[in-house]
């Protein structure tokens, strides 16, 4: 009598189907956890940028006033290139989003957005004066799926940011995430 020591084709295919079904169920859960971890890492990096900004203000006699960049002791966005503020020596990894690079942010010089300007035509300075600590200073819009368009009013998206007072914020909206007023409590409309 012959002893069977191998699995039959039906048994092998049954195991493969079960493994495929389990991986299909677990995959979205794991990717959601990974996205959440990257968002948290991005918020931590944004907070580090805020600490660097406070140190910059101290070095350049800034007193944390709100308004144009020169009043706040911060560099104008026009003089902000390549992930380095004048007076702040930063490593490149700090300015790279852990979420990767979203296609809609390709026009930016760094993965993180930075708001501060002395340009009188830019509404940021007036927002900062009126809204004070609710104004965003750094943001990261990269922690979204690549098919989500950041400027589209039809896609729900999340963007992370740090306000001028150092508090972190996670904003989920259908509007333009780059519009400064969306970071406030919407009591001020442009």
Looking at residues 153-177, what average pLDDT do you find?
A: 79
Strands (E), the chain: 113-114, 136-140, 157-163, 168-173
Residue 176 domain-assigned (yes or no): yes
Residue 82 domain-assigned (yes or no): yes
Residue 137 domain-assigned (yes or no): yes
**Separation of alpha carbons 121 and 111, rounded Å:** 24
Residue 188 domain-assigned (yes or no): no
| pLDDT tens digit sequence for 97-137 | 888 887 777 666 667 878 888 888 888 888 888 877 778 88
Residue 190 domain-assigned (yes or no): no
Residue 86 domain-assigned (yes or no): yes
Residue 1 domain-assigned (yes or no): no
Looking at the structure of the chain, the number of domains it has is 1
Residue 84 has pLDDT above 60, yes or no: no
Beta sheet of 113-114, edge-to-edge order: 113-114, 136-140, 157-163, 168-173
Residue 156 has pLDDT above 50, yes or no: yes
Residue 81 has pLDDT above 80, yes or no: no
Residue 186 has pLDDT above 70, yes or no: no
Band of pLDDT at residue 18, cut at 50, 70 and 90: very high
Q: Give me the domain span that covers residue 66.
A: 9-183
Residue 161 domain-assigned (yes or no): yes
Mean pLDDT for all residues in the chain? 76
Looking at residue 180, its pLDDT comes to 59
Looking at residue 171, its pLDDT comes to 79
């Amino acid at each position: 009598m012959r002893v069977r020591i191998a699995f039959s084709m039906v048994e092998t295919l049954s195991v493969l189907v079960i493994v495929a079904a389990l991986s299909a169920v677990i995959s979205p859960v794991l990717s959601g956890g990974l996205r959440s971890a990257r968002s948290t890492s991005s918020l931590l990096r944004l907070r580090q940028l805020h600490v660097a900004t406070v140190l910059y203000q101290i070095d350049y006699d800034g007193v944390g006033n709100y308004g144009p960049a020169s009043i706040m002791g911060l560099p104008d966005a026009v003089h902000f290139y390549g992930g380095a503020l004048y007076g702040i020596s930063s490593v490149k990894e700090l300015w790279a989003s852990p979420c990767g690079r979203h296609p809609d942010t390709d026009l930016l010089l760094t993965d993180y957005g930075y708001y501060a300007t002395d340009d009188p035509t830019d509404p940021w300075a007036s927002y900062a004066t009126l809204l004070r600590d609710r104004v965003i200073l750094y943001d990261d819009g990269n922690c979204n799926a690549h098919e989500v368009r950041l400027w589209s009013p039809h896609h729900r998206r999340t963007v992370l940011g740090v306000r001028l007072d150092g508090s972190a914020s996670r904003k989920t909206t259908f509007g333009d995430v780059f519009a400064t007023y969306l970071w406030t409590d919407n009591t001020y409309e442009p």
